[in-house]
Chain A
Amino acid sequence: MAFIEVENVVFSYEAEAEETESNQSKTVLKNLSLSVEKGEFVALLGHNGSGKSTLAKMFNGILQPEKGAVKVCGMNTADEEKLLDIRKKVGLVLQNPDNQLVASIVEEDVAFGPENLGIEPKEIRRRVDEALKAVDMYEYRRHAPHKLSGGQKQRVAIAGIIAMEPDCIVLDEPTAMLDPQGRKEVMDTIVKLNKEKQITIILITHYMDEAALADRLIVLDGGKILADGTPKEVFSHVELLKSHSLDVPQSTELAYKLKSAGLKIDGTPLNVEECVEAIDKVLKKK
């Protein structure tokens, strides 16, 4: 049994009742199935409207599938009695950091989750400290969240989830509203949580360079899976992705175009270093 199993899920949003002319529902997920193993770092990539955020909200039962089932450790998210257990295992971080912070002091905000789980005060203290250290925000524990930068706020939001000690964190475009520095801070934190704490990560993003950091990349298009594999495998289908107006990293695109121009480049470089190495190798062979 996989950690998370999504089985033949169908989901549609009802159009507004008063909108008589467009009184049809919009199907966003069309018979979608996938499974995620414990410890994986999965990136979900797709356009707005591809169904990726809808899927994100299903992993911990905020949304229920119309048809099919979503199971976390075998527990069905449709089973209300299991919902609290599921949410202890799968935490969700959203796009806008300003909408996720509730307290007026950083450490109180991080303590909010564990407090609600009824955990002992001493244990809460330990978890809050550990969570803040994990996201590198410990020295800001007594600061006011509204005075932090976007990247810092988002890391506090992540700490709030970590303090509940989940097995898995789902992040829905956590860097979309951040500047490059904030993006980097948050991505470094996510990679660290996966590698050092073995937390399963499901990252929803439309940044190719972020998706390239994952172990596995799933591309959604029109509510279906367009590609599923390692970033190298998926990004090697440059034409397929471009035909769905999705980007690939510039390094990958450069290698692809050089190949088309007749240069014998090895593999699918995903970043600057790999690309420089591949080009250097070909040009050296005179």
Chain B
Amino acid sequence: MSLLEINNLSFTYGTGTAFEKKAVNDVSLKIEQGEFIGIIGHTGSGKSTFIQMLNGLIKPTQGQVLLDGTDIWANPKQIRKVRFRVGMVFQYPEYQLFEETVEKDIAFGPQNMGLSKDKIKERVESAARFVDLKPELLKKSPFELSGGEKRRAAIAGVIAMNPDVLILDEPTAGLDPRGRDVLLSQIASYHKSSNNTVLLVSHSMEDISRIADRILVMNKGNMFAFDETKKIFSRGEEIEKIGLQIPQITKIMIKLGKKGYKLPSDIYSVDQAVYEIMKIRNSQVSKKKG
């Protein structure tokens, strides 16, 4: 049984009004325990609506979300429990910090889960460690932290609930390259050590390709593709056509391929590209010698 099974999921905004719009259209897929899934799609592709249905913030107009085989809406009174198991980090989560201290803010989720004091303390400390917030920051007001620290504190608040599925919506938006790299590697190491499922929404194929096992590409409310990272990149040109940016490296390899060089079409890192191009060079040299 898959951890998350999504069957024919659809959502229509403003049904019966002049603004009726199908934001998500008949999406079906399965996500296994421990997977790292990247979700990509441009503004209006339905990706935010889609993830909000996964933890019951929006009720689908059609279809269902099965968590461990049970429809999350089977008992609407228990939907809160689903939200503890499927944790959501929104865009610019630092705007949602509200407590007097960082510690209290991170503890808010575990407290609502009804955990014991000791357990809460343990959760807060380990969540803070995951996002590399120094212990001395925990006693400060969230508003005294730097922008990057605030964001990490907000993410820690969700991690502290130890959700089976952690969903992050554009967690690196607005960060500089160093902040982005640090946060992505923290998310990757959280995934590795917790073995929880992670869903990461991003505009950047380059970021997603570095850490995701599989990528879901959304386009106009439809599932355009859902496949292993490598296989997604082998469809680079199609993906560009629906208006998504593919890494420069992938574009370079596609263009060299069109010039007749034998190159695999699923390259998305600089080192892979160097390796493949040098392979061509070396075979040229050895042919010459031969």
State the A residues within 8 Å of B (CB): 16, 47-48, 95, 149-150, 176-177, 179-182, 206, 209, 245-247, 249-251, 253-254, 257-258, 261, 263, 271-273, 275-276, 279-280, 282-283, 286
Contact = CB atoms under 8 A, between A and B. Distances in A.
Nearest to B273: A254
B245 interface: yes
A258 B277 contact: yes
B270 A253 contact: yes
12 contacts: A47-B178, A149-B43, A180-B244, A181-B43, A206-B177, A251-B252, A254-B273, A254-B274, A280-B259, A282-B281, A283-B277, A283-B281
A250 B274 CA distance: 12
B173 A272 contact: no
A250 B177 contact: no
A258 B252 contact: no
Interface of B: 42-43, 144, 147-148, 173-179, 181, 203, 206, 243-245, 247-249, 251-252, 255-256, 259, 261, 270-271, 273-274, 277-278, 280-281, 284, 288
Contacts of A180: 42, 203, 244-245
A47 B42 CA distance: 26
B176 A257 contact: no
Contact of A286 (B148, B256, B284): B284
A149 B42 CA distance: 12
A48 B252 contact: no
B138 to A, nearest CB: 16
A181 B42 contact: yes
Given A180-B203, A251-B252, A279 B277 contact: yes
Contacts of B177: 47, 206, 245-247
Contacts of B261: 283
Given A254-B249, A263-B278, A279 B256 contact: yes
A257 B270 contact: yes
Contacts of A283: 261, 277, 280-281, 284
Nearest to B45: A179
- Binding site of B, secondary structure by majority: helix, strand, loop or mixed? helix
A182 B245 CA distance: 12
A179 B41 CA distance: 10
B271 A257 contact: yes
Contacts of B256: 276, 279-280
Tell which of B244, B252, B277 has the most Cβ of chain A within 10 Å.
B252
B24 to A, nearest CB: 18
Contacts of B280: 283
B259 A276 contact: yes
B176 A250 contact: no
A87 to B, nearest CB: 27
A250 B278 contact: no
A272 B248 CA distance: 6
A272 B251 contact: yes
Tell which of B42, B148, B178, B181 has the most Cβ of chain A within 10 Å.
B178
Contacts of B148: 48
Given A179-B43, A254-B249, 18 more contacts: A95-B174, A180-B203, A181-B43, A206-B176, A206-B177, A245-B181, A247-B177, A250-B206, A250-B248, A250-B252, A250-B270, A253-B270, A257-B270, A257-B271, A272-B248, A276-B255, A279-B252, A280-B256
A22 to B, nearest CB: 10
Contacts of A47: 176-178
A249 B248 contact: yes
A91 B244 CA distance: 32
Given A48-B179, A177-B173, A283-B284, A254 B259 contact: no
B203 A179 contact: yes
Contacts of A261: 274, 278
Contacts of B206: 250
A271 B147 CA distance: 31
A164 B174 CA distance: 28
Nearest to A46: B176
B19 to A, nearest CB: 12
A191 to B, nearest CB: 18
A177 B42 contact: no
Contact of A272 (B244, B252, B277): B252
Contact of A254 (B173, B174, B270, B288): B270
Contact of B255 (A182, A250, A253, A272): A272
Nearest to A176: B174
B249 A250 contact: yes
